[in-house]
Amino acid sequence: MRRVTRLIAESATLNIGGIIASPEALGDGGGLVAVYPGDTVVIATGIHLGPVDLASEALHAAPTEVEPGWEDVFEFTAAVRNGERAVVFGPGDDIDQEYADLHEASVRLLRIRVSARGRDRAVDLAVDEPVEEYLVQAWPADGVEQPSALAAESAFARSRRESFSAAKEAGMRHGVRIGPGPVSIPGEGGVSGAAAANTASMPNAAASANLAARRRIARSGHGSEHD
């Protein structure tokens, strides 16, 4: 069953709590999803602060098609943390309040699809009424698959992906490997294998790409810049 709720985005993010995703399991995140410092998986909002409308849905299997009408759609694999719930919430929200779970209790590995629209409407601004909508769907995964950007039509998504690519190229010139690479999922005791090579550099790359994208769009007149 699909559940619709209103969340408060802060510092241009929503959090997906209760999951673990290694940086290379996300790549450039389709300009929509990223791993930030502290292993926090976030959805990058266009607005800096304010309400957004979010629909969430726990499925038994992958959707047969991508729903029309969404500008940006990204899909990735994540592990559910032991004893935790996979839910989407605003950074300032109470994790114990009533949100819809993205999985049944027995599911340990998820495929998650995030869809968004409206992120170009008020880039880096504080809003009082929702201008952005999100849909987060999750279903049990049989194994770890490569991330997939199914749509990246907004200027915001394209700018974030371009900034990520630039950060990746700069890292390679300095001998720093920035994903994506062979996909793995970190274990509860820490990252494993290929993930260890990327964990230190990738969150900074994601944050840098986010800032660069916002500055580029702000200069184009679609929003105002926050420091």
Instruction: Report, as an integer, the average pLDDT of 6-20.
Output: 93
Over 90: is that where the pLDDT of 31 sits? yes
CATH of 3-219, one of 2.40.30.10, 2.40.50.100, 2.60.34.30, 1.10.10.10: 2.60.34.30
What are the distances in angstroms from CA 116 to CA 38, 128, 133, 137, 154? 24, 19, 6, 12, 9
pLDDT in tens, 80-132: 998 888 999 988 776 555 666 788 777 889 999 999 999 999 999 999 999 99
pLDDT in tens, 193-217: 333 333 333 344 455 555 555 545 5
